[in-house]
Amino acid sequence: MIIPSNNTTAKKLARISKRAIAGALLLLAVILILDLLNIPSRIGIKALSLNTSFWSALVGPVTTLLVFAASFHLIEKWNVEINQNKREAAKHLLLGAYKQCNETVEMLEYDFFIKSMVKHTNFNEAINESSPAVRLSKLPFQNEKTIMQFCTDGYIKGEEIDHYFDVKSRFSQYCTMKVTLFDAPDKTEILKEAVVKAIYAANHSLKKQ
């Protein structure tokens, strides 16, 4: 799982706090055993037995430490669950985009679908944002803003976002050329293969995590 850098600091603090509390409890246990067995007196060291007021004064800080440790553990567990959920959400968006790309590539193999797009395309104008092919190529990537936020927050690796943009670029090119060269489908086979391979590589990079 990918965890943001600030969470690494939290983990270090958790380890430090646990060690400090464990050390305090160990020291307390040693003092208690020494007092109960009266070991200092046995080895010739004069020592007064620990009285009730001492223990009363010690219970407060120890209780505070224990409460702090329990609270910190619960907060840390909650943070880990949040990070896991965000990671899964990021993967879901990426996998969803790739799935939609695959489905669109398959749809572009049907003549009726291509003919419908060609019918609504003005070939006397340059390809622009209003062109059916361009609009089609953007459909799988409508969640890009959210995906980029996940990437910025550290829930998507650099390799994974590189795959994402590779798929987006090849898919966009394929959609445009598939409509432009509607009467010469064989000429777009290489582009189709490139898209399929890019999608496979992108999916594989996510599923191997």
- Please write the tens of the pLDDT for every residue from 135-172: 999 999 999 999 999 999 999 999 999 999 999 999 99
User: How many Å apart are CA 147 and CA 91, to the nearest integer?
Assistant: 9
- Give the list of residues 6+ apart from residue 154 with CB closer than 8 angstroms, or none: 2, 3, 4, 5
Token pair for residue 147?
Answer: 């995906």
Q: Which pLDDT value is given to residue 41? A: 59
Q: Residue 97: is its pLDDT beyond 60?
A: yes
Mean pLDDT of the chain: 80
> Which contacts (CB < 8 Å, 24+ apart) does range 73-82 have?
73/14, 76/10, 76/11, 76/14, 79/7, 79/10, 80/7
Candidate from 24-38, 101-115, 143-157, 183-197 with smallest mean pLDDT? 24-38
12-71 pLDDT, tens digit per residue, is: 555 655 666 666 667 667 666 656 566 555 555 555 444 555 555 556 666 676 666 666
Helices 144-152 and 52-107, packing angle to 10 deg: 140
Average of per-residue pLDDT across 65-91? 77
* b (16+ CB within 10 A) / e for 157-195: eeebbebbebbbebbbebbbbbbbebeeeeebeebbebb
